[in-house]
Amino acid sequence: MKKIGFLLVLCFVFSLLTAFEHQDKLEITDTEITVIQSEGILRYDFKIKNTGEATIESDFDYPGQHPFGIEFIVQPNEKLSEVMIMEEHTNYKKMLPLGSGHAGFFEPNVEMPVYLEYKIKDDVNPEEVKELAYDASLLILDGVDITVKFPLQELQEQLSN
């Protein structure tokens, strides 16, 4: 019985070490933030480059029929979450998503466009939202695991230099 438990823990640790093993090869090369006032949308457009030599794709597997694969989300910090409509009944800070688009994998030496849209509260100044949009992090998930976290404030500083 102890051997089975040890093997299960070993398999779990091995899967964590091998899943999405090339995340250090991902680099955000450009970002654009747009506030669409008429529709109450905060839109993020990113270009993410795989600087490695191999395709990066999801290794996530589970017993269901619809694997999650690679997912992108912008996770707000405190100030941004105050001006956005947030999802309820969750332990995580999640802005209400309105749309997204991406290829779901990263070809070597190719910039992949990613866009994410979230709902702004009705009574908020759009200029304030645009100023606070970098008070967040871009998370890249493989299934339920966060594989890469890009703090947007740091990204803004790097791209402006």
Whether residue 74 is predicted with pLDDT greater than 90 in this model: the reply is yes
pLDDT interval class at 16 (50, 70, 90): very low
Number of structural domains found in the chain: 1
pLDDT digits (tens, 9 = 90+) for 24-48: 889 999 999 999 999 999 999 999 9
Top-ranked range on mean pLDDT: pick from 19-33, 52-66, 118-132, 136-150: 118-132
Q: What is the pLDDT of residues 47-69, one digit of tens each?
A: 999 998 888 888 777 777 666 67
Please indicate, yes or no, if residue 6 is contained in any of the structural domains.
no
Instruction: Give pTM, 2 decimals.
Output: 0.81
- On the question of pLDDT at 152 being above 80, the answer is yes
Classify residue 118: in a domain, yes or no. Answer: yes
Q: Whole domain around residue 28: which residue ranges?
A: 22-160
Is 16 inside any structural domain?
no
In-domain check, residue 72:
yes
Q: Is residue 11, in this structure, part of any structural domain at all?
A: no
- Answer whether residue 58 is part of any domain: yes
Within a domain: 2:
no
CA-to-CA separations, 60 to 11, 28, 34, 66, 93, in angstroms, rounded: 14, 23, 32, 11, 23
What one-letter code names the amino acid at 133? A
Q: Is 124 domain-assigned? A: yes
The reported pLDDT for the residue numbered 25 is 86
Q: Where residue 84 sits, what CATH number does that domain have?
A: 2.60.40.10
Give the residue-averaged pLDDT of 84-113: 92
